[in-house]
Amino acid sequence: MEKFMIQGGTPLSGEIVAAGNKNAALPIMAACLLTDEELMLANVPRIRDVEAQVALLERLGVKAAWTSDNELRLQADAVTDTEVDEELAKAIRASFLLAGPLLARFGQVRMPPPGGDSIGRRRIDAHLDAFRDMGAQIRGARWLEIAAREGGLAPCRIFMDEPSVMATENALMAAALTEGPTTISNAASEPHVQDLARLLVKMGAQIDGVGSNVMTVHGRDKLGGADHTVCPDHIEVASFMALAAATGGELRIRETEPDDLLMVRRQFRRLGLQSMIEGRDVLVPPEQPLEIKVDVGEMTPKIDDGPWPAFPADLTSIALALATQARGEILIFEKMFENRLFFVDKLVAMGARITLCDPHRAIVNGPSRLHGERVDSPDIRAGMAMLIAALAAEGTSEIGRVEQIDRGYERIDLRLRDLGARIERVSVEAVPA
């Protein structure tokens, strides 16, 4: 076990390169199961969730090798097992992304319950509905046995009852290896979904409508290998933008995808965070006077999340932490996950003025003069929110359960130190129950 010791009050300044998108890398890695040929993946983030996905794939018989720091070679030419390991699956929700490719290629899969963050109810019904639409039969409640009909999956029209990112990705992978046209309506269209679609095209599928909520996959009976570079992580880019603004620093974030940041930059401007684009770089100017922009008619402004291209749910925690340093009042409305905001008591303990109205809404009044405190990270994004608060606070903060942050942010302490942060990773001895 490890914790972060942070001395706050230092502006974060300098340059940083955006890491690969974790939520793109995980389904792209699962797609190796669609072929017996080799996938060569670049810009893969070295984080806990990726390592957990590698372990799951290796348990199934996939050959996996890191050829450099962020380059991963995968080949599933010797896979015979279609039962996903339960203990390894507990580590990440993305374990369920193995269902679609295993079902399409081998005609069956046995799936344990997926793990992941405790941010609220996260249903898998949309995945199963898509498989049923393609002709699969599903048995079981906790463990799921999913089997294609004789002759394999069938092309069809799938209508998602919600634009679930992972369900869309599972449907895309299954359809890519199902010969004929499959249309997915009410599909998720996040940047990581688009990146998976680009990989599947390289592997031999034809996909129309990438980036929209209606995609038609012209699948093949055989897919090949491919070389692919994982897209930059817009969630990480936004996190670093907030870190710089909250501490009054000047930051250049390199190798981003500016089109993925349009809504993020617009919503951050409500908090007074101004940014500029130079080529593929995002620039955050120093010492910004963060001030919340009131809506026309003196109405209380809000930042709320939703399916792409709305403001990402993964950034509501980060926006809330940044709002504690902005002058004025704003409503943070987390619509998608009922437990996402249950970390705000930790920011309140640091001096933030936050009123939690209900599981989905919090009113933030700023700026707050934060002070160091001892807190634990309940999930990836709440952990980053607490990092933002700690680096903006006066005094020393201690953040426990940093393995949660490590699941989504690569070498975060080392990269922050390069920007001037006073942060140390400290080992903690486990206390016997």
Structure tokens at 138: 């599903």
Structure tokens at 13: 């300044």
Say which amino acid occupies 315: L
SS3 192: helix
Query: 350 and 373 in contact (C-beta within 8 Å)?
Result: yes
CB 295: neighbour CB atoms within 10 A?
12
Asked, as a colleague might, if the bond just before 114 is cis with ω within 30 of 0, I would say no
End-to-end CA distance of the chain: 15
Query: 347 and 321 in contact (C-beta within 8 Å)?
Result: yes
Q: Which of 36, 77, 85, 117 is catalytic?
A: 117
Query: 26 and 92 in contact (C-beta within 8 Å)?
Result: yes
- Rounded to 5 degrees, what are φ and ψ at 216? -115, 120
Burial class (CB in 10 A: 0-12, 13-18, 19+), 279: exposed
SS3 399: strand
User: Could you tell me the CA-to-CA distances from 41 to 72, 93, 179 in Å, in that order?
Assistant: 5, 21, 25
122: Cα separation from own chain's centroid: 14
| 418 counts as catalytic | no
> What is the per-residue DSSP string for 55-111?
HHHHHHT-EEEEEETTEEEEE-SS----B--HHHHTT-GGGGGGHHHHHHHHSEEEE
SS3 299: strand
- Of 92, 71, 83, the closest CA to residue 23 belongs to 92
User: Could you tell me the CA-to-CA distances from 427 to 44, 338, 367 in Å, in that order?
Assistant: 26, 32, 33
Catalytic residues: 117
